[in-house]
Amino acid sequence: MIAALNVGLAVLILALAFWTVVARDTFSAVVGFVAYGLLLALVWVQLHGIDVALTEAALGSGLTGALLLGAAARLRKTEAAARTERPGVSTRVVAALVAGSVTVALAIAVLALPDPAPTLAPQTAANIAATGVGNPLTAVLLAFRAMDTLLEAIVVLFALIGVWSLAPDRVWGGRPGPLHRVDPDGILAYLARVLPPIGIIVGIYIFWIGADLPGGKFQGATLIAAMWLLVVMAGLSNTPPIGRAWLRIAVVAGPVVFIAVGAAGAAIAGAFLAYPDGFAKPLIKVIEWALFPSLALTLALIVAGAPERPET
């Protein structure tokens, strides 16, 4: 029964992925991509990777989907013109060959893995007690592979700088995104009043529980960001001007604290990002608490987009 479900899921994902690639309409392709991400989250649940499933649903499907929808809406004007410029046969054949060989190479690499596949899980399980956290993923992300997580947080920050750099000079330092004018008694305004209190609690819960159970700062921060974006899109709030000092400090605070803790580790415990004995869990908490608000704000601002309006 479960095997049938898994096979069905795999077939559905492959079919949807294929459809997303061949869909001619940008909007349809984005909708396909979002549905694909949600199905992928189900696969992660089946593989018992609840943390990854949450991340895929929140970031891979939700937040990226929102970004792509915004891009599709902007491209709509030029889409008809772009569609007439069809690449030549040779270009398409070469593209198909390159994409096909990447797929074959990946398939060979996966099939060539020794059985059982190489794993560091026993070492992680043996050393998790030293970190004091209960969720092995959190232990890996913030203790054993803290460098990767630090770089991830900085990549998100760079993405925001990249989005901001698209601003025209005359509105630099202004407010991101268009001004949303929505019926104040409409359903969107109603949803934006009812949902955020629930969503904020769920977001903080997912962040809080991340130390011991599936969850964490990225997933929780995405929910908080989504709630804020909902309020903005319903016209109940405005995006802040990106020139404000508090906003820039809030965005860099998380990574700065992470780097400071890492540098302190270099001085006290002998290696960058090493935690002194007995202090692993409190230091992980400090990093998580510093990163969480910064990430929520950064992710929200990435979706809000480049500044489009002067401050007033």
Partner 1 sequence: MSFLLDLFTIAAVSAGAVFFLAGTVGLLRFPDALTRLHALTKADNLGVGLIVLGLLPHVEGVLAGLKLVSIWLLVLLASAAASQLIARAARRAGPPA
- CA-based end-to-end distance of the chain: 60
Q: Choose, by CB under 8 A, the member of 171, 188, 204, 264 that binds partner 1.
A: 188
The CB-of-187 to partner 1 minimum distance in angstroms stands at 4
Please provide the DSSP assignment of the chain as one string. -HHHHHHHHHHHHHHHHHHHHH-SSHHHHHHHHHHHHHHHHHHHHHTT-HHHHHHIIIIIIIIHHHHHHHHHHHHHHHHHHHHH-PPPHHHHHHHHHHHHHHHHHHHHHHHTS-SSPP--HHHHHHHHHHHT-S-HHHHIIIIITHHHHHHHHHHHHHHHHHHHTTS-GGGTTSEESPPP---TTSHHHHHHHHHHHHHHHHHHHHHHHTTTSS--HHHHHHHHHHHHHHHHHTTSS-PPPTT-HHHHHHHHHHHHHHHHHHHHHHHHTSSTT---TT-HHHHHHHHHHHHHHHHHHHHHHHHH-SEEE---
Q: Is 190 in the site for partner 1 (CB under 8 A)?
A: yes
Which CB sits closer to partner 1, 233 or 283? 233
Q: Mention every residue, 6+ apart, whose C-beta is less than 8 A from residue 41.
A: 53, 54, 56, 57, 60, 61
Which CB sits closer to partner 1, 125 or 187? 187
The CB-of-62 to partner 1 minimum distance in angstroms stands at 13
Which CB sits closer to partner 1, 21 or 194? 194
Taking CA atoms, 49 is separated from 42, 230, 288, in Å, by 10, 29, 21
Task: Select the span of 136-144, 194-202, 206-214, 266-274 touching partner 1 (CB under 8 A).
Answer: 194-202
The CB-of-9 to partner 1 minimum distance in angstroms stands at 16
Q: Is 191 in the site for partner 1 (CB under 8 A)?
A: yes
Which CB sits closer to partner 1, 12 or 286? 12
Binding residues for partner 1, total number by CB under 8 A: 7
Which CB sits closer to partner 1, 93 or 198? 198
Task: Select the span of 43-51, 148-156, 189-197, 260-268 touching partner 1 (CB under 8 A).
Answer: 189-197
Which CB sits closer to partner 1, 147 or 187? 187
Q: Choose, by CB under 8 A, the member of 99, 104, 105, 194 that binds partner 1.
A: 194
Which CB sits closer to partner 1, 195 or 269? 195
Q: How far is CA 131 from the centre of its chain?
A: 25
The CB-of-198 to partner 1 minimum distance in angstroms stands at 7
Q: Is 104 in the site for partner 1 (CB under 8 A)?
A: no
The CB-of-176 to partner 1 minimum distance in angstroms stands at 22
Q: Is 187 in the site for partner 1 (CB under 8 A)?
A: yes
Which CB sits closer to partner 1, 136 or 199? 199
The CB-of-266 to partner 1 minimum distance in angstroms stands at 43
Structure tokens at 167: 């601003």
Q: Is 95 in the site for partner 1 (CB under 8 A)?
A: no
Q: Choose, by CB under 8 A, the member of 82, 120, 147, 198 that binds partner 1.
A: 198
- Residues of this chain that interact with partner 1 (CB under 8 A) are 187-188, 190-191, 194-195, 198
